Amino acid sequence: MSKASPWIAGINAVASALEHDAANVREVLVEAGGRNPRLTEIESQARRLEIDVRRVAQQALDGVAGGLRHQGVVARYEAARMWDEHELPDLIEQAEGRALVLVLDGVQDPHNLGACLRSAAAAGATAVVIPRDKAVQVNATVRKTSAGAADRIPVIAATNLSRCLRDMQKQGVWIYGLAGETDASIYDIDLTGNVALVLGGEGDGLRRLTRENCDALVKIPMPGEMESLNVSVATGIALFEAVRQRQPKGKAR
C-alpha cells in the first residue's frame, strides 16, 4: 500500500475519490456555511455512500489541509494501493501487442506528476512507471492535480528502473527515451505496437543508466527558440502522438 497523506483537499479531488474509490474514503469534512453548490452535492453523495460527514469551521479545514487549497472540503482517505512492479508483465500481456507505458525518470514536482497521470489516463495508457526512490510519489497533491487519474490508471513504483526497462524489452516492448540532443524525431518512429515512452525529470532529464536501457532516443521537434518543454507538456505530446498513430485510417481527427 502507498503511504500517501491521509487527507485530500479540494472539490475535484474529493468528488473524484467518492466517485472512483469511495471504499477508501473514511470521512468528509465540509465547511459550515459554504455556499458552493458542489459542496452540497459532495455532502449528499458521501451520505448516500454512508461515509461520515461533518460540517466544520474554515479554520479547521485550513489546519487539516496542511497548506493545500481546500475550497471548503477535505476527506480522510486511505489511498488506493500502488501497483506492484511484478504486475506490469500481466498488464503488458493484456494489451495484446498495443501496450503504451509511460515511464517517468525522477519527476520531483507533484503537480507535474499529477498532470502526467491525467494525460496518461486520457491517452488510455497501459500503466505509468515511476522510480520508488528519488522521485515524488502519489500523494494528496498529485491526486488533486491528476483530477482523478491517479485512481484510474495503474501507477507502478519500480525499485530498479533500469531493470524494469530491460524486463519490458524482454516482453517485446520498444523503449523510446525523449532527449533534446538527438536528431531523431518522435514523429518518424512507429508507436503502434508495444511501446514505452520514457521522460526525464525537471532538472537533468534522463539519467545515464536510463538512457543506456532505451532502444532509441527521440525528440519533439521545436522550431522555436526554447530548448525544452515542461515534462508534463512533453508527456502529453508524446502520448498523443502514439494515440494518433493508433487511430484507424480516416478516424484520426
For the annotated binding site, the residues are 200, 220, 229
Q: What angle do CA 167, 218, 222 make, to 5 degrees?
A: 150
What count of Cα atoms within 13 Å lies in the side-chain half-sphere of residue 37? 0
CB 205 within 8 A of CB 220: no
Strands 195-200 and 174-178: parallel
From the list 166, 158, 181, the residue with the least C-alpha distance to 213 is: 166
**Binding-site positions for S-adenosyl-L-methionine:** 200, 220, 229
Helix ranges (H only) for the chain are 11-20, 37-48, 58-65, 88-94, 110-122, 140-145, 161-170, 208-212, 231-246
Give bridge partners of residue 64 from the DSSP assignment: none
Cα 117 to Cα 58, 67, 155, 185, distances in angstroms: 30, 22, 9, 24
From the list 16, 12, 15, 131, the residue with the least C-alpha distance to 68 is: 12
